C-alpha cells in the first residue's frame, strides 16, 4: 500500500469517526468500570453476582494474558510500548483501509479503545485491573476487564468482516467510497 499523504490520512480518519467514537466509548467505559472496582472492592477480594457462574473480583495483572511474562524485568514498559505501537497501527489501518465495512470500522475502534484502556492502567498503576470472572462448575475463566472484552469483540468483528464479507464495501453508483 502506498502512503497517500497526511491530507488523505486525516480526511479518511475524519470520515471514519464512528470508529473513533466507538474506541473512545470503550476506553471511557473501561476506565469508569476499573475506577469503580478499585474504589469499591478491596484488592484480591470479590463479590458473588451469580453463584457458581459470575463474580466481580479485584485483581491486578502485571503480565499479559493470564499473567504470562509477569516476572520478566521491565515488562511494564515493554507492554506499554507494544500496546502503543499496536494502537497506532490500528488507527493507521482504520484511516487507510479503502471503503471498510461498518463491522471493520467498529471492530478497529473497539481494538483501539481496548488497547488504550489497558495502556492507561499500565502507565497509571503498573498493572491492568481485571475484575470480571466467570466459571462453570470447576472451570474458572481467568479474570478480565471491559478493555479485554472490547479487544476480543473488535478482533472478531474484523475477522468476520474479512473472512465472510470481504472486508470492504462495494463502491456505490455515485462513487461514494466512505466507510
- 131 vs 30: CA distance, rounded Å: 11
What grid cell was written down for 108? Answer: 478497529
Closest listed residue to residue 162, CA positions, set 115, 100, 87: 100
- 174 vs 179: CA distance, rounded Å: 14
β-bridge partners, 50: 54
Across 84-98, b (16+ Cβ under 10 Å) vs e yields eebbeebbebbbbbe
- Annotation says 177 is catalytic: no
Active-site residue among 30, 121, 148, 177? Answer: 148
- Annotation says 148 is catalytic: yes
Active-site residue among 121, 130, 176, 177? Answer: 130
β-bridge partners, 115: none
Catalytic residues: 130, 148
Amino acid at each position: 500500500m502506498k502512503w497517500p499523504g497526511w491530507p488523505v490520512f486525516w480526511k479518511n480518519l475524519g470520515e471514519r469517526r464512528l470508529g473513533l467514537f466507538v474506541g473512545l466509548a470503550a476506553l471511557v467505559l473501561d476506565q469508569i468500570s476499573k475506577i469503580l472496582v478499585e474504589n469499591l472492592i478491596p484488592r484480591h477480594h470479590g463479590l458473588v453476582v451469580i453463584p457458581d457462574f459470575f463474580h466481580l473480583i479485584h485483581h491486578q495483572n502485571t503480565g499479559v494474558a493470564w499473567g504470562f511474562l509477569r516476572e520478566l524485568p521491565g515488562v511494564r514498559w515493554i507492554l506499554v510500548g507494544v500496546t502503543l505501537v499496536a494502537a497506532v497501527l490500528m488507527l493507521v489501518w482504520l484511516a487507510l483501509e479503502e471503503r471498510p465495512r461498518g463491522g471493520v470500522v467498529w471492530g478497529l475502534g473497539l481494538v483501539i479503545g481496548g488497547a488504550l484502556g489497558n495502556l492507561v492502567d499500565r502507565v497509571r498503576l503498573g498493572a491492568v485491573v481485571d475484575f470480571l470472572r466467570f466459571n462453570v462448575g470447576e472451570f474458572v475463566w481467568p479474570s478480565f476487564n471491559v478493555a479485554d472484552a472490547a479487544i476480543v469483540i473488535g478482533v472478531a468483528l474484523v475477522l468476520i468482516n474479512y473472512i465472510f464479507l470481504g472486508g470492504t464495501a462495494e463502491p456505490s453508483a455515485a462513487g461514494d467510497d466512505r466507510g
